[in-house]
A and B are shown apart, each in its own frame.
Chain A
């Protein structure tokens, strides 16, 4: 690996031993990225962690005690999960049949994928603004509903739980769909053909061949959708009811840190948020580790 005159037996041997294990100068390429992530992610994270143990008053665990003691703060965890989990589950569940239909080649597939990607560009703010107008009491949606006689008066879908859920679906669904589609297309199609020659119907092929190979990919898709939905922040404020039904944990953290200027409490809530999220992800990934993940499966 390292040509040149050996300076002495010892350093060369050392270098060789390291090179055999894959350690050589090429690893310096990792340095810039590692430095950036350490300085901008790891250090702030640890700083926030120790800051959370230095409350403005009281003992070391005062912030955490306050969080779990105060129902107004404690309940934000349940509120966030109650929004994030259904949104992520729904996005993944709807993506599977859709992606299954669209994995083959048909006319206009590229156009359809493009149209489905559009919501990613909308961003949370425009989605919120659009939902307020579209689903509002005088918006088109309620006009149709009332006009068709489905309801006597406009349905209230904004400034509550539903508005936020819709916003999470609009922004999260395209992402889940694209990911599911790419996992599905990574599955070797000859497996399904083989099953078909043995007389398996489409449901059997899906149930016993495609779906088991897809599940590991779906677990990843769920995790990424959940991360997106869990950090719901602008839409919870704009289309939700930020002081009540949709007071999610990120609002509580922001409120503590930048409105009450209690950085310590804000960091503590941010840490709790991270832990809750990682617990959910850990559970899903732990379950995923028990599944088959061989070649020809939807990798990931």
Chain B
């Protein structure tokens, strides 16, 4: 920043500090409680233990829930990339009649809240006996994921100069060679970014999975919701232990994601000075 500190700086940093303290309080409460023997009307719990983690591992059948979550997320990422990237390529490179309508169709699932289309979608999936299965959960999660991939990839492809492809063609490259040796290497960073973001979104997607999942196809976040809303049956510490497991896995995903994606450059790519 240039020049003297501007007025309001203290207010801004104060807001940030307040938000972070609040956040630390929220997360800290859950983490502390998950290690507590019991915690009633005191600053800190009466004793510490790790048994809630073991208990939630066994009681909630965490291994199978984690396996389901992993399978769903990987399938959703794979299918949405396979369907989304070609579509993004066509949208970025071609101007054709009906493009605006098609773009609107691809944008709507992002602009409409999941519960709105989730309820009719779940009804349809029940009709075809797909609800409650893993296929149903994957299909439901594709609805926001494919448009998301298109949304991320279209500007990314637009910034790849089409002359590169034209030059390769002129030098006699076949379509296949253009795809594998020119486009693929250029597209990989964007696909990686889109894929990781879809992964994070799918693992965290509550509404759609909640509406379409059955007992064998619950992902972690849905299992967590059931354990919270069934509070009283289970010790709260045990629920908190599971919430910590959930957050830790999301955090690992996020840290991986941030290695590949700079979140502040999702919308506009502005050239940074070299050496940044």
Name A's B-contacting residues (CB within 8 A).
21-24, 26-27, 29-30, 32-34, 36-38, 40-45, 47-49, 51, 94, 97-98, 101, 104-106, 112-131, 133-134, 138-141, 143, 166, 170, 173, 178-179, 181-183, 185-186, 202, 217, 223, 227, 230-231, 233-234, 237-238, 250, 253-254, 257-258, 263, 266-267, 269-271, 273-274, 277-278, 281, 298-300
A146 CB, min distance to chain B CBs, angstroms: 12
CB pair B146–A123 under 8 Å, yes or no, is: no
B228 CB, min distance to chain A CBs, angstroms: 6
Contacts of A30 in B (CB 8 A): 86-87, 90-91, 102
Contact pick for B239, options A105, A122, A129, CB 8 Å: A129
Contact pick for A298, options B25, B268, B276, CB 8 Å: B268
- Bound CA span A13–B146, Å: 35
Known: A130-B27, A134-B28, A233-B115. 10 other contacts (CB 8 A): A23-B96, A51-B120, A123-B224, A125-B224, A129-B243, A130-B26, A170-B26, A178-B266, A182-B265, A183-B267
Contacts of A21 in B (CB 8 A): 96-97
- Bound CA span A126–B239, Å: 10
- Contact of B109 with A by CB under 8 A: yes
CB pair A33–B106 under 8 Å, yes or no, is: yes
Contacts of B30 in A (CB 8 A): 126, 129-130, 133
Name B's A-contacting residues (CB within 8 A).
1-2, 6, 8-9, 11-13, 15-16, 19-20, 22-23, 25-30, 33, 40-41, 43, 79, 82-84, 86-87, 89-91, 93-97, 102, 105-106, 108-124, 139-140, 142-143, 146-147, 150, 200, 204, 206-207, 210-211, 221, 224-225, 228-229, 239-240, 243, 246-247, 250-251, 253-255, 258, 263-268, 270, 276
CB pair A278–B112 under 8 Å, yes or no, is: yes
Can you sample 14 A-B contacts with CB below 8 Å?
A21-B96, A21-B97, A23-B97, A41-B117, A48-B119, A48-B124, A98-B12, A121-B253, A130-B25, A134-B28, A139-B29, A170-B26, A202-B6, A238-B225
Contacts of A181 in B (CB 8 A): 264
- Bound CA span A42–B143, Å: 10
Contact pick for B29, options A118, A133, A178, A234, CB 8 Å: A133
Contacts of B243 in A (CB 8 A): 125-126, 129-130
CB pair B26–A186 under 8 Å, yes or no, is: no
CB pair A121–B109 under 8 Å, yes or no, is: no
CB pair B117–A44 under 8 Å, yes or no, is: yes
- Bound CA span A65–B154, Å: 43
CB pair A125–B115 under 8 Å, yes or no, is: no
- Bound CA span A183–B267, Å: 7
Please name the 10 residue pairs, one residue from A and one from B, whose CB atoms are nearest each other, closest first: A48-B120, A231-B113, A186-B268, A130-B26, A121-B250, A33-B87, A29-B86, A133-B29, A22-B96, A32-B83
Secondary structure type dominating chain B contacts: helix
Known: A237-B229, A257-B119. A123 touches B246 (CB 8 A): yes
Contact pick for B108, options A41, A101, A267, A300, CB 8 Å: A41
Contacts of A51 in B (CB 8 A): 120, 123
B82 CB, min distance to chain A CBs, angstroms: 7
Known: A178-B263, A238-B228, A238-B229. A98 touches B15 (CB 8 A): yes
- Bound CA span A123–B254, Å: 13
A186 CB, min distance to chain B CBs, angstroms: 3
Which residue in chain A gives the minimum CB-CB distance to B227? Answer: A125
CB pair A270–B119 under 8 Å, yes or no, is: yes
CB pair B267–A300 under 8 Å, yes or no, is: yes
Contact pick for B111, options A98, A130, A227, A266, CB 8 Å: A227
Contact pick for A26, options B40, B90, B221, CB 8 Å: B90
Contacts of B140 in A (CB 8 A): 40
Contacts of A120 in B (CB 8 A): 200, 204, 254
Contact pick for A185, options B86, B94, B247, B270, CB 8 Å: B270
Contacts of A143 in B (CB 8 A): 43
A115 CB, min distance to chain B CBs, angstroms: 7
Known: A44-B124, A234-B225, A238-B228. A227 touches B106 (CB 8 A): no
- Bound CA span A178–B79, Å: 27
Contacts of B79 in A (CB 8 A): 36
Which residue in chain B gives the minimum CB-CB distance to A182? Answer: B267
CB pair B120–A115 under 8 Å, yes or no, is: no
CB pair A257–B123 under 8 Å, yes or no, is: yes
Which residue in chain A gives the minimum CB-CB distance to B89? Answer: A29
Known: A51-B120, A179-B267. A140 touches B29 (CB 8 A): yes
Which residue in chain A gives the minimum CB-CB distance to B273? Answer: A105
CB pair A27–B96 under 8 Å, yes or no, is: yes
- Bound CA span A227–B116, Å: 11
Known: A37-B143, A125-B221. A29 touches B121 (CB 8 A): no
B118 CB, min distance to chain A CBs, angstroms: 8
Which residue in chain A gives the minimum CB-CB distance to B201? Answer: A120
- Bound CA span A68–B202, Å: 35
A120 CB, min distance to chain B CBs, angstroms: 7
B226 CB, min distance to chain A CBs, angstroms: 10
CB pair B246–A22 under 8 Å, yes or no, is: no
Which residue in chain B gives the minimum CB-CB distance to A202? Answer: B6
Which residue in chain B gives the minimum CB-CB distance to A84? Answer: B113
